[in-house]
Homo-oligomer: A and B are copies of this chain.
Amino acid sequence: MKVGILGGGQLGWMTVLEGRKLGHEFYVLDKSPNSPAARVADGWYPPNRAREFSDRCNVITYEFEHIDENVLSSLGKDTTPPLEVLRLKKSRILEKRFLLYHGYPVAPFEVLRTRELTQLELRKTLVAKAQSLGYDGKGQYVIESPEDLKPLLENHGPDEEFLVEEFVDFSAEVSLIGVRDYEGRVEMYPVSFNYHREGILLYNYAPYDTPLESRLKDIVSRLMEDLKVVGLLAVEFFITKEGEPLVNEFAPRPHNTGHYTLDGAYTSQFENLLRAITGLPLGSTDLKLPTGMVNLLGVSLEDFDVKELLSLPGVKLYWYGKEKRPKRKLGHVNVCGKSVEEVKEKMEVVLKSIYGEAYLGVE
């Protein structure tokens, strides 16, 4: 089957590499022929040849949400998951409203413009999230005092809209990734524990034991149905101090918190995406053994001791071949172990090996 992927980043790269074994062909639409996914695909198309790309492919999926509307409308056919979900994801405000009005638990929020933000009387810590480009902590501001508004005012016009939430003092951040086929059958990976630093995922591991598991699974299952997702849906949750789950956001594509499935699960999230959208039976989402993931953020292979890292048993490197930029996701490391405790111990060593003493202990 000819599979088209909108976006040429590492999520597409891993999708292509995992999908080769199924015998599919892959075509990638991206600005750059040197993007990770384009380099390993059977063909690359620039955005201005979207229709040609679309005509070539039997099914089109996406690995990146911020694709130009002109490109989407010139495809001439729907994607899998549907374009509607992608459009929802282009705005944090639309996404949060969808969740609220469909009865999902979310933190209280309001929509305010930049100039309205400056007039607030601050009694509580707020988080202001710009409507668009909502990934990896971009356009996201924690506001405790009027001082904190400065960078926001520098980066955004007076009429720009923000999703403004009360800062959630959560006890844990977790995520759950589900996969759904054309017949509505659903499989779910275990809950993973996620640790973010400055809005960017630093590490995660699974399985994470929580009494909320069945409630979270119900939420993800219902959301996949509400969104008519065929393929993957990753949902990020905050668990409040009171033990209640709040949906933070969802992603209708392979998710950074599912990279561990490449080594930890019977079937990776990437293979399951492809099985779902090409009409093959879903693969088992069971774990072979506990596994964690550490992101390589803004560090190149010259910045740390790769040999030291790879000498740790059960450590696997995934290097995306991207240009180095501060905080950019340039690769990740998967860490397998016989127990969650062993995985966490190894992840401590990995974090120290990559980031030196600046690393943070594994929770």
The answer to whether A313 touches B288 (Cβ under 8 A) is no
Q: How far is the CA of A286 from the CA of B307 in the complex (A)?
A: 19
A42 contacts across to B, CB distance below 8 A: 39
Binds B, one of A18-26, A52-60, A105-113, A247-255: A18-26
A13 contacts across to B, CB distance below 8 A: 20
Within 8 A of B (CB), among A72-127: none
A137 contacts across to B, CB distance below 8 A: none
A22 contacts across to B, CB distance below 8 A: 317, 319
Asked if A316 is at the interface of the complex by the 8 Å CB criterion, the answer is yes
Asked if A192 is at the interface of the complex by the 8 Å CB criterion, the answer is no
Contact with A321, one of B23, B286, B306, B307 (Cβ below 8 angstroms): B23
Closest 8 CB pairs of A and B: A23-B319, A281-B311, A284-B313, A21-B318, A288-B288, A281-B310, A266-B314, A280-B310
Within 8 A of B (CB), among A1-40: 13, 17, 20-23, 39-40
**Residues in chain A within 8 A of chain B (CB atoms):** 13, 17, 20-23, 39-40, 42, 266-267, 271, 275, 280-281, 283-284, 286, 288-289, 301, 306-307, 310-311, 313-319, 321, 331, 336
Q: How far is the CA of A21 from the CA of B14 in the complex (A)?
A: 9
Q: How far is the CA of A321 from the CA of B42 in the complex (A)?
A: 13
Q: How far is the CA of A283 from the CA of B306 in the complex (A)?
A: 13
The answer to whether A310 touches B275 (Cβ under 8 A) is yes
Shortest beta-carbon distance, A211 to chain B, in Å?
26
Contact with A301, one of B23, B275, B311 (Cβ below 8 angstroms): B23
